[in-house]
Amino acid sequence: MVTCSNLKIKAYGKINLALDIVGKRDDGYHMLNTVMQSVSCFDLLDFTLSEGKGIELTCKLDSFPKGEDNIITKAYHAFADFTHIDFGCKITVNVEKNLPSQAGMGGGSADAAATLRALDFMFDTRLTDEQLCSIGVALGADVPFCITGGTRLCQGVGEIMSNLPSPDCAFVIIKPDVGISTPEAFKKYDSISNPKRCNMDVLLRYIGGGKLFGICSNLFNVLEYAADREEITHAVQELKNSGALSALMTGSGSAVFGVFPDIASAQTAAEKLSGWSYKCVCQPVKQGWEFVY
């Protein structure tokens, strides 16, 4: 059953308020202890059904991959394998790509999660969040979070999630010209003999109590220390100089976010920042996606 032939969905990006690595599985996957936060900057995916079969991706960016290796295409195939559905039509996805790549903002994961949500709605398969996340985790560690979103403590390889209250604040996100691939970031971490550790319990208490200054004092990303990149250090300092309460690299980088008490102070700070390949003023959002009607 097809519920609609056209659907637009926002795929919200994410930042990591904390990211620690607590172990490594035999298969090479790192065990995480991280607090993820959905933010209001997004990619926009426009799904259209027509006669034919298969999936076609379109995007104005020449650098956007449109073949079988794209995570949207992988999500399409994973959804079909899980549901055993015969789509019976061609699916065209036009992607308005706003989230940068190699930034640590979950842009690819957000697109995959939005694809699973859109297909579930359009073809009325009525999968549970748990079922969607079981599809998503095979696509990437951040995909289960992006399927749900909000503010969550994520553990394991990212699939074990606990809901948290969202902080009352705003963010400015900037990205240097340099990008950092996720495999590169974790490989650099593996080379460190005695990495710093996150005091996650303290951070979680401040998040639970809505204490923004306490949250800002306990932001942590072990991959930022592992990266040890001059461009990251410069971005952190620039955000602090602009008035951020604190600043941190998100995920595996190279985007860096600054925390501000409100959207007005974030916008004022953003006006002072120039020369970055990406800049976004945003706020926390309570889910990882949103249909656009």
Residues with catalytic function = 14, 142
255 carries a ligand binding annotation: no
- In whole angstroms, how large is the CA radius of gyration of the chain? 19
What spatial distance separates the first Cα and last Cα of the chain, rounded to whole Å?
A: 20
The secondary structure of residue 174, as a DSSP letter, is: E
Residue 199 in tokens? 């005091």
Q: Which two tokens stand for residue 264?
A: 């007005």
Annotated binding residue 277: no
β-strand 160-163 against 289-292: which pairing, if any? Answer: unpaired
52 three-state secondary structure: coil
The three-point CA angle 278-10-160 to 5° equals 90
Phi, psi of 126 (to 5 degrees): 55, 45
Q: Per the annotation, does 114 bind a ligand? A: no
Asked if 167 and 212 count as a contact pair (C-beta separation under 8 A), the reply is: yes
Q: Are 55 and 46 in contact (CB under 8 A)?
A: no
110 marked among binding-site residues: yes
The sign of the torsion formed by the CA atoms of 177, 288, 94, 69 equals positive
DSSP label of 267:
H
DSSP 165: P
Annotated binding-site residue? 78: no
Secondary structure of residue 37 in the 3-state scheme: strand
Answer yes or no: is 210 a known binding residue: no
Measured in degrees and rounded to the nearest 5, phi and psi for residue 223 equal: -75, -25
105 is in an annotated binding site: yes
The answer to the question of whether 107 is labelled as a binding residue is: yes
102 is known to lie in a ligand binding site? yes
Q: Which residues are annotated as a binding site?
A: 100-110
Q: Which residues are known binding-site members for ATP?
A: 100-110
